[in-house]
Structure 1
Amino acid sequence: DLRAPLRHINGFVNALKKRLTEIETLEDSKVDHYLEVIENSSQKMGYLIDGLLNLSRLGRRELTLCPVNLNSVVKTAIDLVHSLENKTNPVEFRVGKLPIIQGDIALIQQVFVNLLENAIKFSRASKPIIITINCREDGTIFVADNGVGFDMKYADKLFGAFQRLHSQKTFEGTGIGLSIVQRIIHRHGGQIWAESVLGEGATFYFTLKTLENGN
């Protein structure tokens, strides 16, 4: 159990806090800060372990394939990520006509949720925030944003587990979301890649087995 050591750390931190409060040592700002650092680091490690376990499970899970209407999936994904929006700078989602594909609906849903979360996170400074989900004539699906973008010379690192192209202080996250997206797309026999101009947003392209055009 990878999480067992973290549970022990958190348990002892709580016990230590209680003990230090009893002897009034916790009033020392340095001691309080040290405990806060331990708690925050433990929480971050927990997120990393969860991401690693999710990535591992994707390789073992049997796919449940069925026709998937991507427009319906995207609508649900948008509803799920609404909590990430800043009410003073709402996101404008532009959704085109998407195809019906053959896939595992739960995993395809995860692809869009992760890509939309990623797009919102890296577009927070843009006004307005515009995220486009559409399909090219050749059937390639894409999610585009008008955020900070990235330098294409680092594109090969984009889908690596725990790889980050931006500072965690500026953009939170574990660096596992895009790895999960890539694993899902590859398990469906598709390909995924990204293109960007630094400061002008990013576009993520991917292919899936198409059954017919959507409505």
Structure 2
Amino acid sequence: MVRRQSIDLSGLARSVAAELQAGHTTHRVRVVVQDGLVAVADAGLVRLLLQNLLGNAFKFTRPSAEPTVEVSAEVSPAGELVYRVRDNGVGFDASRSEELFGPFCRLHGAGEFPGDGIGLATVQRIVRRHRGRIWAESAPGSGAAFFWTLSPASVDPVPQDIRRDSDARPHGGAEPALVGAQ
């Protein structure tokens, strides 16, 4: 059963990123989280969604000289609020993006990047339980972006500061926050 409540998605993303950074003391990741992200959703399920998406972003940015992960949202031309986790990691062949969400499917070898191949299948199930959809965009060597929506009943009114463009910089001119130990 999905237990919907208003959640501070920005705060939740920062919390999950801090937990991940604490577990990766040798792999420092710059995390930029847009302020003002909110949703009416199951907080526990959305935390699990963020743990999987951010965990993958941390993992696949390991080879990057300056690993960066961004969490943001924008309003689509159709008026739908679309959330996004984007990284500058190794990326993947976009022609295989449909395979990403199958259980035990992996686009990278287990020796290259550890994992069991169920994280994105879990994320897809969470999004579907919220009557939303999820998709990914990427290219090898160019990072990856994962987009998802929640049902209109799951989204608070769109905050005024969420722009209709694809710029993932924090709003209000704020500097990106580094998450984790110094």
TM-score class normalised by the smaller sequence: 0.7 to 0.9
User: What is residue 9 of structure 2 aligned with on the other side?
Assistant: 70
Matched residue, 2:166: none
Other-structure match for 1:101: 39
Cα distance between partner residues in 2 of 1:195 and 1:106: 26
Aligned runs of 1:1-215 on 2, under 5 Å?
Answer: 62-87=1-26, 89-138=27-76, 139-208=81-150, 209-213=154-158
1:76 corresponds to which letter in structure 2? S
CA distance in 1, matches of 2:57, 2:89: 7
Q: Provide TM-score, normalisation by structure 1.
A: 0.68
TM-score, normalisation: structure 2: 0.79
How many Å apart are 1:84 and its aligned residue?
3.8
Residues 193/98 of structure 1: CA separation in 2 closer, same or farther (3 Å cut) = farther
Higher helix residue share: 1
The CA deviation at 1:86 is: 4.3
The gaps in structure 1 that reach 5 residues or longer are 1-61
Does structure 2 conserve the Cα–Cα contact (< 8 Å) formed by 1:78 and 1:116? yes
The amino acid across from 2:20 in the alignment is: V
- Contact 2:104/2:117, CA 8 A, preserved across alignment: yes
Letter in 2 for 1:212: P
Match of 1:17 in 2: none
Q: Deviations over 1:34-60 (max 9, x none)?
A: xxxxxxxxxxxxxxxxxxxxxxxxxxx
1:140 alignment partner, SS class = strand
Aligned residues: 153
Structure-1 separation of matches of 2:66 and 2:23: 15
Matched residues in 1 for 2:19 and 2:53: separation? 12
Q: Equivalents in 1 of 2:16, 2:124: separation in Å? A: 17
Secondary structure of 2:101's counterpart equals: coil
**Poorly superposed stretches of 4+, deviation over 2 Å:** 83-87, 212-215
Whether contact under 8 Å (1:98, 1:135) holds in the other structure is: no
Q: CA RMSD in A?
A: 1.5
Letter of the 2:70 counterpart: T
